[in-house]
């Protein structure tokens, strides 16, 4: 099997593919310093004969330079909000030019979620600032309207989840029509609040669908207690006083 790894970084996914039995792995890394580091790491681990690392963007590579179309694509080109590193356009281009028809793509897609929360202002110098919760907005306490956090690392009592996660968008970039992958779309969704509190932020996170088995997923959300890489993107908003009654 010929595996294509786009955005290889340290070469980790390429080495995992080689270890799993791939006969040939072509790794693409457009940052020269990272590509050099990956070549060193791959060599140290004994996979230099199996893995060819090219310092090039995938959309600047043709089939001839690739050495034939690939049977499988693996890529980790997602950011905290999923789409910021161009995964949709990159996979669409690879499917058109660099992959065999029906090639396996890992991950095969993802769902983006929004979680309505009340974030508490942390104590400063041992003093409570609870009354500032009504003013936790981008204008008051944050230089930007969004920031990053890992809610699972916050102490108990520092936040309150006000509603069930809301699925914003779902992407199946492995099997959807290539020409429709990057189409702009909008949806109107109803947010059902289940707890009283001050809605002052939405956490944006994603769940990667690794293959056709619904159980094989990876979440960047608060439900993943072992999360180390991505943050939840925290969108601060002007607060609304919310009441809830049975």
Q: How far apart are CA 13 and CA 76, in angstroms?
A: 9
Q: How far apart are CA 8 and CA 36, in angstroms?
A: 11
Other CB atoms within 10 Å distance of the CB of residue 130: 9
Q: How far apart are CA 37 and CA 112, in angstroms?
A: 32
Instruction: Give yes or no: 85 in active site.
Output: yes
From the list 8, 239, 21, 235, the residue with the least C-alpha distance to 112 is: 235
- Give me 4's structure tokens: 């294509």
| Phi and psi at residue 151, to the nearest 5° | -60, -30
Instruction: Give yes or no: 29 in active site.
Output: no
* Range list of β-strands (E), the chain: 2-6, 24-28, 51-54, 70-75, 99-106, 109-119, 146-149, 159-161, 166-171, 197-209, 217-219, 232-242
Q: How far apart are CA 212 and CA 215, in angstroms?
A: 9
Residue of 29, 49, 63, 76 marked active site: 76
Residue of 29, 49, 63, 85 marked active site: 85
Classified as helix, coil or strand, 224 is: coil
From the list 43, 41, 47, the residue with the least C-alpha distance to 23 is: 47
Active site residues: 76, 85
């Amino acid at each position: 099997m010929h595996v294509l790894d786009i955005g290889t970084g340290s070469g980790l996914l390429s080495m995992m593919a080689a270890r799993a039995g791939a006969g040939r792995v072509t790794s693409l890394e457009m940052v020269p310093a990272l590509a050099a580091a990956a070549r060193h790491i791959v060599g140290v681990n004994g996979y230099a004969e199996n893995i060819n690392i090219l310092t090039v963007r995938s959309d600047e590579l043709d089939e001839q330079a690739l050495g034939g179309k690939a049977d499988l694509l693996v890529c980790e080109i997602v950011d905290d909000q999923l789409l910021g590193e161009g995964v949709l356009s990159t996979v669409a281009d690879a499917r058109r030019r660099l992959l065999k028809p029906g090639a396996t793509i890992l991950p095969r897609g993802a769902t983006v979620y929004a979680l309505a929360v009340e974030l508490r202002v942390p104590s400063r110098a041992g003093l409570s600032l609870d009354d500032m919760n009504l003013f936790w907005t981008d204008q008051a306490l944050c230089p930007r309207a969004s920031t990053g956090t890992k809610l699972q690392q916050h102490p108990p009592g520092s936040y309150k989840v006000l509603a069930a996660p809301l699925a914003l968008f779902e992407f199946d970039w492995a099997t959807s029509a290539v020409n429709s992958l990057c189409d702009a779309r909008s949806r109107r969704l109803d947010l059902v609040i289940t707890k009283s509190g001050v809605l002052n932020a939405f956490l944006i996170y994603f769940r990667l669908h690794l293959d056709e088995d619904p159980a094989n997923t990876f979440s960047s959300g608060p439900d993943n207690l072992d999360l180390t890489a991505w943050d939840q993107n925290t969108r601060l908003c002007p607060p609304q006083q919310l009441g809830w009654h049975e």
